[in-house]
A and B are shown apart, each in its own frame.
Chain A
Amino acid sequence: MTKHIETNDTWQIGGKTLSSRLLIGSALYPSPANMEDAIRISGAQIVTVSLRRQAAGEGNGNPFWDIIKSLGIEVLPNTAGSHSAKEAITTAQMAREVFGTNWVKLEVIGDQYNLQPDPFETVKAAEVLVKEGFEVFPYTTDDLVVAKRLADVGCKIIMPWGSMIGSGKGLMNPDNLTAIRKQFPDLKLVVDAGIGKPSHAAQAMELGYDGVLLNSAIALAQDPVKMADAFRLAVEAGRLGYEAGVMKEREFASPSTPTVGTPFWHQFN
């Protein structure tokens, strides 16, 4: 039996060498055990986490954080819920102390209806955080100029959305994503948000993106663990497809079966 081509390529992001190009969220799972199983089977080596107000008292420690630590993978704290550069910067600083990482998924929301990132506040926050030594993973729209501004202030990673957070609509504008990829061949690009199906993740990878970040598509599936495995395969398939080089589209039909030797054709017909 022919051996499969192994997708054992590694890549670098934020100073780490990783083999998985799937970044996974830790929210919305039916149970903590389900979250743990899904993350493990996904093969993801980066998991996003967040910070929220903690009640006083004795408590039982933090079971969620204990599970995440036991996974032994990189944590990427987000600044979800921030509506200004100031809030995002403070959240990032707090996250660095709590999680012990200089990585931050910078998320500054500009509109409550579609949770669209605020490009102005995101760039402002990114500039400060880069200067403070953070590895900034900015969540942004698929706007090329915003991506350029983020690169200008020192971001080495850009995370354009596929579509609205949690919408599952997939890649709204693949042309915009392609433009960003072409403009920034040396930046690490991750499609973040809006992915609903494994095929969406494969599509993002086929565009040459370095990775995909998703949460709801796995956590809200009927069977999150099975879906996590599906996304693992889709990301690998999409990456292999990109590396293999996708054929050029053609305007007209072109038969794949050879025309020479076509049966039942005779000259006197």
Chain B
Amino acid sequence: MIKVSVNGEVKELEENLNVDQMIEALEYKVKGFAVAVNTTFVPIAKYDKTIIKEGDTIDILAPVQGG
């Protein structure tokens, strides 16, 4: 298992998960979000090739109100 930070909270994940598998493991069911790993945007097309590593910081963002 590895420890990562997801939206500011520490989570444990299995090793060698890609972003698709991470989303499934974290049980994100609702679509319409975007992902950044270590403050770098990961487009959907790169989910399967982006492997999550120990200590990564992950942000999963969705639409909200804004000014």
Contacts and interface: CB of A to CB of B under 8 A. Distances in A.
Interface of A: 25-29, 35, 48-59, 61-62, 64-65, 68, 77-78, 80, 86-87, 90-91, 93-95, 97-99, 165-166, 215-216
B7 interface: yes
Nearest to A51: B61
A99 B29 contact: no
Interface residues of B, number: 26
Given A26-B66, A86-B39, A90-B41, A51 B34 contact: yes
Given A26-B65, A51-B62, 14 more contacts: A25-B66, A28-B67, A35-B65, A49-B65, A50-B65, A51-B64, A52-B62, A53-B7, A53-B60, A54-B30, A57-B27, A94-B34, A97-B41, A98-B62
Contacts of A62: 30, 32, 62-63
Interface in B1-45: 7-8, 26-30, 32-36, 39-41, 43-44
B59 interface: yes
Contacts, number: 107
Given A54-B60, A98-B61, A65 B32 contact: yes
A54 B62 contact: yes
A166 B61 CA distance: 24
Interface string B40-58: 1101100000000000000
A48 B62 CA distance: 14
A64 B39 CA distance: 25
B33 A28 contact: no
Contacts of B67: 25-28, 48, 50, 78, 80, 165-166, 215-216
16 contacts: A25-B66, A25-B67, A28-B67, A49-B66, A50-B63, A52-B64, A53-B61, A54-B61, A56-B28, A61-B32, A65-B63, A80-B67, A90-B39, A91-B61, A94-B34, A97-B44
A64 to B, nearest CB: 6
Contacts of A61: 30, 32
A112 to B, nearest CB: 16
B32 A48 contact: no
A29 B67 CA distance: 11
A155 to B, nearest CB: 20
Nearest to B63: A65
Nearest to B65: A27
B63 A64 contact: yes
